[in-house]
Structure formats: C-alpha cells, structure tokens
Structure 1
Amino acid sequence: MIKIIVDSDSLEVVENYINLCNLLNQNNYECTIYGLTKTDSERCKSSHISMFSPQKNDTIILDNISVKSVNDVYNLARILNPPVYSLKKNKLKYKIKRWIKIQKEKLKIVFELPKPKNFDLITNLSAPIVDIYGQNLEKTAKIAGVLTVIKPDGQIEVSIKKAIDDGMEKVLLFGRIGDPVYYHDKISPILKTYHGKVQYCGYPDCREKIYSQISHVYDFSKNRNLPYLEMEFTNNNVALCSNHLLTYVKKTEDEIIETLSKKFNLNKHKRSNITVVLNGFRRGKNLEKQINALKNQTIKPDEIMLWYNDPGKGYNINRKMAAQAKSAISNENWGVWARFYYAMNAKTKYICVFDDDTIPGSKWLENCLETIKEHRGLLGTIGLIYNDKDNYYNHTRYGWANPNKETTKVDIVGHSWFFEKEFLTAFCREWPLLDVKICGEDIHFSYTLQKYLGLNTYVPPHPENDQTMWGSLKGWELGVDNHAISHQHIVNSNNSFLFGVNDYFKECQKNGWKLIKFEEVNK
C-alpha cells in the first residue's frame, strides 16, 4: 500500500496530497493518507494517524516530517502527537516514566529493538509532481452544497437563499429527511421555484461522493442565527475527487502516474480490479489447488470470495481453505446459480467465477484483462458453437479442450467466466426460465447479455504451446469424477441433467437468443 503522512498547516499542500491520493486510487494504486483533519479525511481514502503502521512492501511518503531512524517511522503517531504529562494532574505517571528512563540509561536495557526496514520511504517527494494540479486546472462551476439533517432547526431554506444570493450556479441539498412535514412545507416549494438550480440529492454512503460534486459548503450558525459559508475548496474543487480531476487534466494524469511509478516503483501497489468467486461443494480438496493457482497469477485478484453449497451427509466442508477467502457457507445446496448472485457482493470492476474443477494457468487473469479491452463481453475458458438449434449436445468446442490461437466468438462459455460486474444486471434481469438448479446458468448469462446489453461471448486465446494462458489446466483430470453434475444426474435422476439443459437451451431461443451459425444463415 502507498501511505502518505501529512503534517502541514498549508491548505495547498494538504489539497495537493488529497488530489494525489484520489488520483492514485482512481488508477488502481492502493493509497491512504494519515494525519488529515476530520473534514479533509472525508474527501479521500484516509485514516487517523494512530492507525498508521508500516507493513512489508509499503511505500511511505512523509510530508514535512523529519525522521532519524527506522524506529522513528514506526513511532510516527507518538512523534506527531507526543503525550503531554502534567506534573500537577499526573505526578505518578510522570514519576514512573522518569524512573524507567533512568533505569534504561543505568542498565543500558534496550526496550525497543531496532525495527527492520521492509518498506520504501520517500521523504523528498518533489513538489512539482504534486503541484502540477494547480497549474493545469480549469475553472469549474460554482456549486454549493448544504449538508445537514433536514429539520426546522437547521434553517436549510435560509442557507439555500444565502448560496443563491452569493451567485452559486447550483445548490445541492444532502441529508436524510428528519422532519417530513418541514420538508414538504419549506423545502419542496424551493425545489419547485428553482427547478434544476436547487436539487435534493439524498444522502450518499460516503462524504467523498458529496465533496466531489461541490465547490462551496453552506451551513446555518445557531449561535449567530444566520447562514454562513463554512468552506470553500481550493482549485475550485476540480481536483477534490479524481473523476473531476481526470476530466480537466487528462494529459497531466498520465504524466503524474508515469513519473511516480518509474521513480518510486509504485506498480507493486497497483490493484487488478478483479474479484475471483470460487464454488465449493463436494470437491473441497480442489480449493487449495485453486487458491494456490490464484496466488501465482501474473495479475493477482484483489479479493477471493467463496460460495459453498451444502455437500450433504458424508462430506466435509474444507473450512481451512474457506478461511482464506470471504466465504458464505450455506446449509442448503442452491446449485450452480447461487454463486452468480453471490458475486454481486464484489467491489471490483471485474469478476471471475470458477467451477470447482477448474485450475487456471498463471496468465489466465492477465489473458482475460487483455482480451476484454478489445472484445467487451463475457469470456470463458471453454466455449461452444452450436451446430443444431434443437440439440444442445451437437456443438463444436473451443478453449482448453480445443486450443484456439485467436479470440473466438462463441455461443456460450463455461468452467470459468470473466466479466464486468455490471453484466450481472443483465443476468438478473430475468428469472431462470425453467425450474432448474443444476444447469442452465451458462446459457442464461450469454442469452441475457446478448438480449439486454447487446454483447457477445468469447473464448480468449488458448495457444497450444503456452498453457499458462489457459483457463483450465486439469479439465480432463478433475472434471470427470463422480461429482461432475452431468455424470451424477445422468446416473441418479433419469437423465434429468440431459433433459434440463436441452430444454433450457431451446427456451432461451424462444425468448430471442440468437445462435451464431443460424444468425448468419438468416442474414
């Protein structure tokens, strides 16, 4: 992680580091600032200085802070906020501290062993790198924000009028409605009178989202009984949040990131923006192989999640490996669909779901990231192109079972699915068309993605001579045991899998799903 410790009274310096923190996080570099005031801390990813602790491989940026040893870095909280001892109020503590100090000097006992330097320390971050912001920003609109609980004693209507009189182009009202009657009688008429200029925006889940939209903050002083301008951000607030910053200084953004990355080797802190979702059932022993394969990826996932279906009596849950992921262990077997609904909890742009018999090559996630840049859609490690509209099993396979040199457009993919989290909105747009639990999710995903987002399904390159790029290395070995869904249900349930998947295949076509071969024939 990149950790910035700020100890400055200069508003411009603080503003610049907030801008830098937001820019780094926007570009997937994990960055946190320590030492900001409460108000400033809400405008970026930050934490109190007491929470600062150097960790292995951290890059630590110190602003206006003098350190003489590695131990000083570990004790920054004490250095920046030294404890004050009052002789009158705390004589006992003072005496104890003094006695310990004398004993240390007498006996030469070292209470704090020297800490190893396992982090990168930057104390000379050149101002021009950060000050580029202030030199390239264009002026933005004057947008006022009124932040408060909406109730009578807040005198919100007075603050709104003050902002309008001050020449604000827009006034945004944030806060929960504490008094609905007051909102109806006082605020609603203002919203109608100044339609479009004054807007109620609810209350976002973090203040950073609020501050990213406004340039001035207005409040009402109960003591003075009048509205006042509480805060005006420097640089006209353009750089408060990186999404605004990128709009105005796109060229500068590239320069800053490139300069910092090369000079201070920041690429090791860059996040992949990928969450992996694993699936547990009766192949618990495979989880260790999967997690080890994910740890060995050239581009590692930011997070691993695990959905664990109840394996039934006689089978153990691999709780040891489940503890290494953010896990949800169910006391019911919800089949193959539940993991995709569970994936909606991911916080990254991309998600990669794996079957429990799929072990990826070390470059699989990298392969998917590169492919989705050129072919935005659903990606997978095995793809099918159907040869018969009425027979699910009449198809040609591409991927690990039939290596393809180039990215190949297919009808559906399986075994591993790589996609943008946004695509789950299409997946959930329709309930499963049939009452199935053990099949159909792969067909459903490609069908809904095509129908609602106009996107296709692809198999990334699986070069025959480079299996590190493959999405599955042991498909022939792990995918044919007695726990395979197709085998289990053909044997035990009167061919229920065979009929279920074929019925779902036909049902999606009835609802508008177009197959590649037959779409081309119709044209």
Structure 2
Amino acid sequence: MKITICITTFNRHLDLERCLRSINQIKLEKKILLNIIIVDNSINYNLLKIKKKLSKDSKYKIIFLNQKNRGRVFARNKYLKKLKHINPDYICLFDDDCIVDKYWFKECFKTIKKYKADVVTGPQIYLKSSNSKKKGNNFSYLFEKNYKNKKICCVKWAASNNVFMDYKIIKKNNLSFDKNLNKFGVGEDQLFFSKINRNGYKIFWNKDVKVYEKFHFQRQNYKWLIDRSYRLGVLGYYIDQKEYGKINGLFINYFKSIYYFISFIISILLLKKNYFEKITNNFVRFYGRLIGPLTFKNIEFYNK
C-alpha cells in the first residue's frame, strides 16, 4: 500500500522540522510504503537552506517542490499535480506546523474499516503556552467545528490540516482547489471537501484522529479575528453559489447573513463567557455576507 503525505510550507522551518519529527514517530505497519511531498511556497525557494537536513532526518523519502505563485491554493494544487505521477492508494494532508499523533494512522484505518469512510478527519488541538495573554483567549476556537461530545460522526467537509483520504476520489473526479479563493487564505478546503461530500463520498470526523498545533499569538489579536471573520463572511457567498447554484446560493447567503445578525443580537443579550469576541465574530460575519456579492472580486490577497 502506497501512502503520500502532502505538506505546504512558507518560511516556517522550525515548525516544519518539528512536524517531520512527529511523522517519524507515527506507528506504521511494515506493508505500508510512505513518502512525503513538501511544497515550499516562497518565491526564492527558501527551503533549499535546510533541504539536506530534512532529508537526512526523515525516515521517509521526501519530494521537494517549489511553487512561486503565492497562496495555499497554488501550493496545494502543485502537490495534486505531482500525485498524478506517484498514484498512491491514500494521501494525508497536514499543515507545516502540525504535530501528528503517533496513533494517527491506526485510528484512520479503524474508521475506514468500521464506517466505510472515504475521507477521515479529526480535531486540531492547540498546545498550551505559558506566554499567552490570558487563558482561553485563542480566537481560533470561533472557527473550529464543534461536534460537542461525539467521538465519531459523519460530516460535510474537512479542514486540510488533518485529512486521510482515498486518492481515487481525486483522480476519478479530477479535483483541485479553487483558484478564486486563493486570495482569502481560507475557505478553499471547505469548498474542496464539500464537493467530495456532494459526490456521495462519506467524510467521518474522529476525535482520536488528532494533530496538535502550537499557539499562534496573533490569534489573540482582535485585528486577526475581525479580518478572518470578514473574509469568511465574504467568501461564504461564493461557496454557497458553487454548492447550490447562482440564485439559490444568493438566497442562502442572505439567509445565513440574517442568522449571523440574530446570533449577534443574542450574544449581546446573553453576555456569556467570552461574549465580546462572539459579538465581534457574529457581527463581522453578518456584514461580510451582506456585502459579499458586491465585494468578493475586490478582496486583496491575504499575505499572512
């Protein structure tokens, strides 16, 4: 069985090294042939500086690629193009700052066997930091899927920082990430996996298929929160049109806009824990969806 791990990276060498060390520790059956694709998304191919070290330290063969056109969509489509030549049985998608749980493959195969899953995903768990401004103030939680106390459930899409999937799905349907979402820096994986779900494939979320991510301090910043909420609001219009058609998508977009406005009002009235960031997120998402059809084409590239 051939499995290829796909990672995109942009000037996060220490994080990438840590990610690869965690991959070395994954429990893997001997019959599995594993290799890794790393796509460097820097214009000057900065990964060349540590390429030899990464290859030496890795237990598995690494294929290095460079994508000079900035943006995650271009970088991810670069490894999809390379996969056509490798033709693996399964692929894994990780971010460069992920630490992969050592039982990750074991849990993925258990989910496939028990539930006949085509795609398996799971949580991204943020590592605690003693240097954070205050406990529980990582605004990323506002954008993570919350499946409450469920251990395993069928879902409509997956985030591409933690995915195991049958490669035949991509090959058969000639799938790629949507270039129109490249400038947003978010949302392209939602559309990608929503298409897979609409084509009848089953996506399962398993809480034990987990990866860890370090704490990013900028995600305590309200500027980061407002910017991300706004972009998700604006691009939501585009995703809805792709999923439901032009007219229905526009109607659904404004229905969701009303939903966020009502959530904004409720957040004000309830004054629960962390209410201010929830108020901010709900209002900005409402506003983004409200003006999304008018401003989608004018959004500038998100250079994070």
TM-score, length-scaled by structure 2: 0.58
1:455 partner SS: coil
* 1:419 maps onto 2:165 in alignment: yes
Q: Report deviation, 1:326.
A: 0.7
Distance 1:496 1:447, change over 3 A: same
For 1:493 and 1:291, the matched residues in 2 are separated by: 31
Equivalent residue, structure 2, for 1:368: 108
- The gaps in structure 2 that reach 5 residues or longer are 125-141, 253-304
Q: Report deviation, 1:382.
A: 3.2
1:413 partner SS: coil
Equivalent residue, structure 2, for 1:442: 189
Distance 1:302 1:316, change over 3 A: closer
AA matched with 2:231: F
Which among 92, 105, 111 is matched to residue 352 of structure 1? 92
2:99 partner SS: coil
Equivalent residue, structure 2, for 1:380: 121
2:182 partner SS: coil
After superposition, the C-alpha distances for 1:37-59 in whole angstroms (9 at most, x for unaligned) are xxxxxxxxxxxxxxxxxxxxxxx
For 1:313 and 1:350, the matched residues in 2 are separated by: 28
Equivalent residue, structure 2, for 1:342: 79
1:333 partner SS: coil
Distance 1:451 1:489, change over 3 A: farther
User: Are the counterparts in 1 of residues 39 and 78 from structure 2 also a CA contact under 8 Å?
Assistant: no
After superposition, the C-alpha distances for 1:345-376 in whole angstroms (9 at most, x for unaligned) are 43320000101222111010121122122332
Equivalent residue, structure 2, for 1:472: 211
For 2:217 and 2:173, the matched residues in 1 are separated by: 29
Map 1:271-290 → 2, pairs under 5 A: 273-290=2-19
AA matched with 1:446: F
For 1:313 and 1:303, the matched residues in 2 are separated by: 21
AA matched with 2:22: A
For 2:226 and 2:53, the matched residues in 1 are separated by: 30
Structure number with bigger Rg:
1
For 1:349 and 1:471, the matched residues in 2 are separated by: 21
User: Are the counterparts in 2 of residues 336 and 439 from structure 1 also a CA contact under 8 Å?
Assistant: no
Distance 1:278 1:481, change over 3 A: farther
For 1:312 and 1:490, the matched residues in 2 are separated by: 27
For 1:297 and 1:355, the matched residues in 2 are separated by: 16
For 2:207 and 2:168, the matched residues in 1 are separated by: 24
- The gaps in structure 1 that reach 5 residues or longer are 1-27, 29-272, 384-392, 463-469, 515-523
User: Are the counterparts in 1 of residues 8 and 75 from structure 2 also a CA contact under 8 Å?
Assistant: no
Q: Report deviation, 1:429.
A: 4.5
User: Are the counterparts in 1 of residues 40 and 75 from structure 2 also a CA contact under 8 Å?
Assistant: no
Distance 1:285 1:427, change over 3 A: farther
AA matched with 2:14: K
* 1:296 maps onto 2:35 in alignment: no
Structure 1 or 2: more helix by fraction: 2
Structure 1 consecutive aligned stretches of length 4 or more whose deviation exceeds 4 Å = 311-318, 393-396, 486-496
AA matched with 2:204: Y
Which among 503, 506, 517 is matched to residue 237 of structure 2? 503
Q: Report deviation, 1:508.
A: 3.4
Map 1:36-55 → 2, pairs under 5 A: none
AA matched with 1:354: F
Equivalent residue, structure 2, for 1:451: 198
After superposition, the C-alpha distances for 1:307-366 in whole angstroms (9 at most, x for unaligned) are 111177999964345545211022332324532551324332000010122211101012
For 1:456 and 1:447, the matched residues in 2 are separated by: 11
